[in-house]
Structure 1
Amino acid sequence: MFNLKEYGTSVKTEMLAGFTTFLTMVYIVIVNPIILSDAGVPFDQVFTATIIATVVGTLWMALSANYPIAIAPGMGLNAYFAYSVVGASENITYEVAFSAVFIAGVIFIILSLTPFRKQLIEAIPLNLKNGITAGIGLFIAFIGLRMTGIITDHPTNLVTLGDLHSSSVLLSLAGLAITLILMSLNVHGALFIGMIATGFIAYLTGQLSFDNGFTSLPTLPEGIIVSNPFEALSDVWTHSLYAVVFSFLLVTIFDTTGTMIGVAKQAGLMKGNEMPRARKALLSDSIAATVGSMFGTSPTSAYIESSAGVAAGGRTGLTALVVAVLFGFTAFFGPTVAAVSGIAAITAPALIIVGSLMMGAISEIKWNEIDEAFPAFLVILSMPLTSSIATGIALGFITYPLMKIVKGKTKDVHPFVYLFAVLFFYQLFFLGAH
């Protein structure tokens, strides 16, 4: 089924690779519920929904596309959901926001079945793609620093350095140091192991306790949140969430496609510039995003952590199958995850480090060309300063074609970008940014 001989691998190698990928990305079952609970979504709901979306997407990737790539709710998109969509307006409840995720997922499924997806990806300037990735990284790291008190509010300068003697800050710094040491030594699963080590320190110092035990049956307190596609569409229409849907769609498409191609290249699975079974692979993400929104989690994405499994020898969908099974098993450890999630210092180092890794895209920006550099710079700067990923994307898309027009390079801009610029301008100046 997985053609192991054809890809020069074995069951043992694939299982080891799957376990490696799982260790590197299992932090999401702790971090995602913490972020989305800030939007009012019950912790247990997000925990279970995160696992459902991960299992559905990764199983599809394993059994249909036969790639060693895992799917799970994306970092950055969860922050956008919690702080820029739900947090931006009292009228936008998390139920309404999940309707926007659902519609974006359905559109993504349709696009994944048509050539339009490829045209859309090719239309967006590379520098804007890199700027979006770096901006999201900066925003995530900023959230991690604020969660722990390393950075706190300041009446004049907005933010300032927090109390370095507080137990939360000291625990965060210890966790950050441990995780960075593990990553420097190329230890697989460094983020997860760092969390375990930080949690152990928190337990020894009395900051962490397991009053509700360690295991329980998974629950969905809110049941199915989005069940009627027409109601979901009505929510988007009523609250004018077009830009939100577009932002979810845009970031998911680029993030997923870029990650899939990167991991496939690393595994030697590309054929020239083409990715075999690309349509099936992209469907895994779009289906997972749609299903995840129904149960209560933000959009999914292909995980770059899959590269750790590839480095361990993973070449087929059997690696992804192992990841899906392990995530399913994790569903029974809700109380343990809930206890750990109550201590921000345990999970914040992962946010800060993931943010730093995403900032790597900044090196790909053409800084010596002002018409390319400034729009990307504006994206990166505005995301953390406005606490809105969508606003950052919008400002970049508005500025980019304007700069090109001034430089006399109107033909260098794809018609889609001009269309997006008009839509974003209308959203920002007439509908208000979300």
Structure 2
Amino acid sequence: MIEKFFALKEHNSSVKTEVVAGFTTFLTMVYIVVVNPAILSSVGVPFEQVFMATIIAAVTGTLIMGIFARYPVAIAPGMGLNAYFASVVATQGLSYQTIFGTVFIAGLIFILISLSKFRELLITAIPSSVKYGITSGIGLFIAFLGLKSSGIVVPNEATMITLGDLHQPGTVLSLAGLLITLILMARRVNGALFFGMLITAVFGYMFNMLKFDKVISAPPAPVFFDLDIAGVFSNGLYAVIFAFLLVTIFDTTGTMIGVSEQAGLMKDGKFPRAKMAFLGDAIATAAGAMFGTSPSTAYIESSAGVAAGGRTGLTSVIVAALFTIAIFFSGVISAISSLPAITAPVLIIVGCFMMEGLARIDWKSFDEAFPAFAIILTMPLTSSISTGIAIGFITYPLLKAVSGKAKTVHPIIYIFGFIFLIQMIFFPTH
């Protein structure tokens, strides 16, 4: 029954291979159940609420991906977007219920886009240099967040930031955890991020920096958030919605196509069952917002499962099952996330992963290079992903137009550029 439903023979796979692949993918991405609650709880969102929402979003999206789209791709709340969520709450003085409202609206729009051809239009219209600039800028943003939370860098009046006190216990543990995880990554150990966190946690426990009340516990009760949808419109948070939407679309689409190509599932350059695949993360985003987490996306860590032999949706089903089991370990995860030294190395290393696209930018063409550079520079320095995106959409069509290449830019880019310009002049986000 399982073999037939997932067409295992047609994909030269087996139940055993898919189970191993599922475990491999889970181990490489399970860090999100620690890191995501740690980031969102830093701005007041109840930890246990984020923990359950993270798992609900992961299970929902991954099951849709596995059963209906039948791809070995896992879905969960995305890194970068969670940091952006926290920065908006912290810098704009708005309640997290209001920002969850923007996530929910973005999720609904995402669902509508996934059912139409607009998603394909948007992906083809936005230039590669802007896409890669956005991804890389987010990478620097979350790496800086890791450096700051660990105490490796600290505020300084003269230079804004400077090197922290490397003798502080938390900072020493952060550096040790980073070194351990880097070694595991260099040795290509499956689940290196997870095992790096685990080893760091053991050291933290040995030096009385980490304490556990209980290991296994009854899962927290999931609660629907009272989303402040009205506050989204009264505060004019359209740029925030657009930022969530844009980054999720690019991240998810690129990851799905990349992992599918790796698995040999692309057919003549086409992406079979694309609509159901794209709906997976869109529905997970809307559902996650209702329970209390930032937008979901496809995880590039799925490639580890594909490398282990995963070729069908059964891999994703196994991942979803393992996330479900994780709800019984909220006590351990809560304790681990309360020690920044454990999660900071993950933020720094994931930031490095997101810089890959820089190699694909044409740095010799100024009108291509500068918009990407402006995005990458602006995001970490302003602590705002949406500001970085706005700068990119404004500078790209402007430079193309004055370079005599106006016709090479899709009309939709001019429209977005104008909207962002108006937004930054009259409705700036701080």
Normalising by structure 1, report the TM-score.
0.97
Give the superposition deviation at 1:388.
0.4
2:61 touches 2:74 (CA, 8 Å); kept in 1? Answer: yes
Whole-Å separation in 2 of the counterparts to 1:399 and 1:47:
39
Q: 1:215 aligns to what?
A: 216
SS of equivalent residue, structure 1 residue 95: helix
User: What's the offset of the Cα at 1:226?
Assistant: 4.4
Aligned equivalent of 2:347, options 328, 336, 351: 351
Quote the Cα distance in structure 1 between the aligned partners of 2:6 and 2:231.
42
**Distance in 1 (alpha carbons) for counterparts of 2:6 and 2:124:** 31
Instruction: Tell me the equivalent position of 2:144.
Output: 142
CA contact (8 A) 1:67 1:320 kept: yes
Q: Which amino acid aligns with 2:295?
A: P
d(CA) in 2 for partners of 1:379 and 1:32? Answer: 24
Is 1:13 matched up with 2:17? yes
The answer for the alignment partner of 1:22 in structure 2 is 26
Listed as ranges, the matches of 1:332-343 within 5 Å are 332-343=328-339
Which string of whole-angstrom CA distances, capped at 9 and with x for unpartnered residues, describes residues 230-266 of structure 1? x62x332111011111111000000000000000000
Flag the 1:323–1:124 CA change in 2: closer, same or farther, 3 A: same
- One-letter identity of the residue aligned with 2:404: G
Taking the aligned partners of 1:422 and 1:87, their CA distance within structure 2 comes to: 27
Cα pair distance change 1:344/1:306, threshold 3 Å: same
- Structure 1 residue 278 displacement after superposition: 0.7
What displacement does 1:273 show?
A: 1.7
CA distance in 2, matches of 1:433, 1:398: 16
What's the counterpart of residue 241 of structure 2? 245
Within the candidate set 24, 47, 52, 1:48 is matched to: 52
Question: Which amino acid letter does the alignment assign opposite residue 77 of structure 1?
Answer: L
Which residue number in structure 2 is paired with residue 97 of structure 1? 99
Task: Give, in angstroms, the shift of residue 122 of structure 1.
Answer: 0.6
Q: Is the 8 A contact 1:98 1:226 kept in 2?
A: no
Gaps of 5+ in 2: none
1:344-373 superposed Cα distances (whole Å, 9 cap, x missing partner): 001100000000110111111110000000
Over residues 151-206 of structure 1, what are the superposed CA-to-partner deviations in whole Å (9 max), with x where a residue is unaligned?
00101100000111111111111111111111111110000000000000111111
Deviation string, structure 1 residues 289-323 (Cα, Å, up to 9, x no partner) = 00000000000000000000000000000000000
Following the alignment from structure 2 to structure 1, what is the Cα–Cα distance between the partners of residues 264 and 231? Answer: 44
- 1:229-268 equivalent positions in 2, closer than 5 A: 232=229, 234-268=230-264
Report whether the alignment pairs 1:174 with 2:170. Answer: no
Give the Cα–Cα distance (whole angstroms) in 2 for the partners of residues 27 and 204 of structure 1: 21
2-structure distance, mates of 1:226, 1:23: 33
Alignment gaps of 5+ in structure 1: none
Corresponding residue number in structure 2 for 1:224? 224
Give the superposition deviation at 1:213.
0.7
CA distance in 2, matches of 1:171, 1:184: 20
Corresponding residue for residue 32 of structure 1 = 36
Amino acid paired to 1:419: I
Residue 88, structure 1, aligned to residue 88, structure 2: no
Quote the residue 2:70 is aligned against. Answer: 66
Is the Cα–Cα contact under 8 Å of residues 92 and 429 in structure 2 kept in the other structure? no
| 2:292 equivalent in structure 1 | 296
Q: CA deviation at 1:418?
A: 0.5
Give distance in 2, aligned partners of 1:377 and 1:77.
20
Stretches (4+) displaced over 6 A: none
Q: State how far apart, in whole Å, the 1-side matches of 2:364 and 2:268 are.
A: 30
- Give yes or no for contact 1:102–1:226 (8 Å, CA) kept in 2: no
Check if 1:378 corresponds to 2:378. Answer: no
Distance in 1, Cα, partners of 2:151 & 2:287: 35
RMSD (Å), alpha carbons: 1.0
User: Shift of the alpha carbon at 1:220?
Assistant: 4.2
Q: Distance in 2 between matches of 1:360 and 1:21?
A: 20
> Who is 2:429 aligned against?
433
Say which of 5, 8, 14 aligns to 1:4.
8
Shift of 1:329: 0.3
Q: Which residue of 2 aligns with 1:277?
A: 273
Matched residues, percent identical? 60
Cα separation, 2, equivalents of 1:302 and 1:158: 35
Q: 1 CA distance for matches of 2:311 and 2:144?
A: 35
* Deviation digits for residues 84-134 of structure 1 (CA, Å, limit 9, x no counterpart): x211212x2100000100000000000000011100111100000000000
Task: Give 3-state SS (helix, strand or coil) of 2:76's partner.
Answer: strand
Q: Secondary structure at the match of 1:88?
A: helix
Q: Distance in 1 between matches of 2:101 and 2:119?
A: 22
- One-letter identity of the residue aligned with 1:270: M
Instruction: Name the residue aligned to 1:390.
Output: 386
Secondary structure at 1:156 match in 2: coil
Are residue 153 (structure 1) and residue 155 (structure 2) matched?
yes
Matches within 5 A, 1:409-424: 409-424=405-420
Cα distance in structure 2, aligned partners of 1:5 and 1:34: 42
Whichever residue aligns with residue 53 of structure 1, its letter is A
Deviation at 1:428, TM superposition (A): 1.0
Distance in 2 (alpha carbons) for counterparts of 1:87 and 1:389: 14
Number of residue pairs matched? Answer: 426
2:206 alignment counterpart: 204
> Which residue type is aligned with residue 362 of structure 2?
K
